[in-house]
A and B are shown apart, each in its own frame.
Chain A
Amino acid sequence: MGNDNTQQFAVSIIVSNQSGTLTRISSLFSQRNFNIDSFTCGETVDPEISRMTITATGDANKQDQLLKQISKLYDVKKVELMTTDNTILRELLIAKINATGESLQTVLEAANVFRSKVVDMSPDSVCIEITGESSKLNAFLTYVAPYGILEYCRTGLIAVERGKKCLYGVE
């Protein structure tokens, strides 16, 4: 089953903000042999409700099963597949780059082109903060890689549908 090509997809999940909810969702991924590519979670307008964004990779069948299995969990209020064409997808990256002198100039130029922000500088390193879709972050990392990335940290994707329609809460 599921002959389609595998691709990455984002899922937004509205859950009741209870102890154990996170464990239960992550346990589902190991129970069903789904891989989480990235995971974010935070409070919503209603403090009793949290919103999660999970990105995973799989074919159409896996995607369908993932959505159905998540929707069955007791703590889950709503789950939706975030289609790329109608979704604002964002991720934050902070990269620490080993750059001085001439290479520093090139890195700063790149930072400018990618519309990122320098958040820290030391005599032999620079920290750059960049937001955008994951592909933009990947492109930036590829470009600066030759100058020496000391470390970087990514938040994982968050996703919100365009327009007035909300995933949860506004009836």
Chain B
Amino acid sequence: MELSGCQILIETLIEQGVTTIFGYPGGQVLNIYDELYKNRDRIHHVLTAHEQGASHAADGYSRASGEVGVCIATSGPGATNLITGLATAKADSIPMVAITGNVPMELIGSDSFQEVDTFGLSIPVTKHSFRVDRVDMLAQTVREAFRIAKSGRPGPVLVDIPKNIQIDKTAYTPRGISEKTPDAKPDTALLDQALGMIHESKRPVIYCGGGVINANCSEIITKLTEKLDAFMVCSMMGLTAMDNDHPKYLGMSGMHGRFAATKAISECDLVIAAGIRFADRATGNRTKFAAGAKIIHLDVDVAEHGKNIDANLQIPGDLHFALSYIASKLEPQKHPAWEETVQAYQKKPKDVCVPEGYLLPWQVIFAVNRKAPPDTNIATDVGQHQMWVAQHYHFKKARTLQTSGGLGTMGYGMGAAIGAAVATGKRTVLFTGDGSFGMNLNELATAVSQKLPLVIVVFNNGVLGMIRQWQNLFFENHFMSSNLQRKTDFVKLAEAFGATGLRAANGPQLEEALEQAFALDTPVLIDCLMPPEENVFPMVPPNGSLENIILE
């Protein structure tokens, strides 16, 4: 069967199980869009307001569903607009495939209209990238892109297709989905060694990162935590690794981690680190991180071993296999003294009292938490609100959080929430700040046109809160460029986009707004007015440790 390049592209995408694409048309992808038109009953194309939104949506779709998210953009500015989204997905190991059109091959290098070196630009922000220079390579390249995206440590892959390749014809033979390459089996001798260390431990902590979620290890990690009678601490990427209401779950440690979690890491005698890379924000000063503990590091990526931390035992390979092996061979343990010690830390920070007359961040998070069904997907942007959500929201299921951890991309949230809502077909909540929201609020248009049940909770404190917090703590209150002094009316803004806009300035108003928002199946924005002075605590200053922790 002879097909054109763009027909082959669509066929291979469908072959790979793709049902949804996020994208934006342009000159060098018009042929592909014509095929999308002809196949609109087979692939749902979501038109975003900006290619960056499409890239974050593909990322959010992937995080929510576990499937490879796909986005498409034209050459030149279309491709450059994808870069932030690709870098975000790379930093958090999210499987994604980005398709870009490019000028015909005979024009490449001539600085033609909307031409940029997409391939070159993509290199540092993708796991891998391809430029297809022969149509007979196209199908195999797309298949390979999907395999690479989901195998090993997942990541984004870009496929750049010049226009002449989209038009050229070649024989096409349908194939099945590209399977993920199985991860290498960890060395069982090392796992037995790990078991020895675990059996000797009196104060164990299981430390989870995003790898636990990527490898679908929630169930086994919960089982292991219980059998070992350990506490579970996580990085931000690992927040949904376990039911947050589990008695052994301590939550996030690190710069803005919960006190008990940070304390448990610094006082334990064993860290079983699973799918985690010991990033600077998570560890603080690495020489003081878990200083009294032995560390067993389980990660599929061999290069993570020894990169940030020299673990006592490094076990590369299949995380699920490693955890299952350990859990099955482990003698059930009881650590009552450790239990008692850590339980005491959990009560340490004083109870939050809720003042009347205005909203406090955690008050809003608690209210949404009460209102939203347990499987609700929560997206965030980046900044203070993100840390508060990480500290206070109780996630019940893996993959219910879409947040930019590694790259810390402000403006990520709108696209990601759209991606999650499209993937799940369910109501999704976006927590954002007035700063972050300002970056990609144009995607409100997408949420409206797609009629998505999206609740956008804007923490509107009139400042760039996290910048302000650092200026407050470390720069003698020199509030340079953190006081927004804008006159944006978010309620009117939402309405201008065709969404519903609501405002809440206190508890009762918030409850009422949430009541309304959760009754609608279309996008709703709740403008939550908050004081600008709130800081995120606890805070371990950069490169600090527990001894530098600021509690309030």
Contact = CB atoms under 8 A, between A and B. Distances in A.
B394 to A, nearest CB: 36
Contacts of A72: 301-303
Contact of B310 (A1, A30, A73): A1
A122 interface: no
B143 to A, nearest CB: 14
A144 B428 CA distance: 74
Contacts of B307: 65, 68
B490 interface: no
Contact of A69 (B127, B129, B133, B303): B303
A24 B123 contact: yes
Interface in A92-151: none
Interface centre among A23, A69, A72 (most CB of B within 10 A): A72
B306 interface: yes
B425 interface: no
B128 interface: yes
Nearest to A30: B124
Contacts of A65: 303, 306-307
Interface in A56-91: 61, 64-65, 68-69, 71-74
Contact of A31 (B124, B305, B310): B124
Nearest to B302: A68
Q: How large is the interface on A (under 10, 10 to 19, 20 to 34, 35 or more residues)?
A: 10 to 19
A20 B309 CA distance: 32
B120 interface: yes
Interface centre among B128, B131, B308 (most CB of A within 10 A): B128
Nearest to A72: B303
B108 to A, nearest CB: 11
A1 B303 contact: no
Q: How large is the interface on B (under 10, 10 to 19, 20 to 34, 35 or more residues)?
A: 20 to 34
A68 B306 CA distance: 10
B286 A1 contact: yes
Interface string B98-142: 000000000000000000000110011001110101000000000
Nearest to A73: B128
A93 to B, nearest CB: 32
A3 to B, nearest CB: 11
Interface string A13-29: 00000011001100100
Interface of A: 1, 19-20, 23-24, 27, 30-31, 61, 64-65, 68-69, 71-74
Given A20-B119, A20-B129, A68-B302, 16 more contacts: A1-B306, A1-B309, A23-B120, A27-B123, A27-B124, A30-B124, A61-B306, A65-B303, A65-B306, A65-B307, A68-B303, A68-B306, A71-B302, A72-B302, A73-B128, A74-B127
22 contacts: A1-B308, A19-B133, A20-B119, A20-B123, A20-B129, A20-B131, A23-B120, A23-B123, A24-B123, A27-B123, A27-B124, A31-B124, A65-B306, A65-B307, A68-B302, A68-B303, A68-B306, A68-B307, A69-B303, A71-B302, A72-B302, A74-B128
Question: 4 closest Cβ contacts across the A-B interface?
Answer: A68-B303, A74-B128, A27-B123, A31-B124
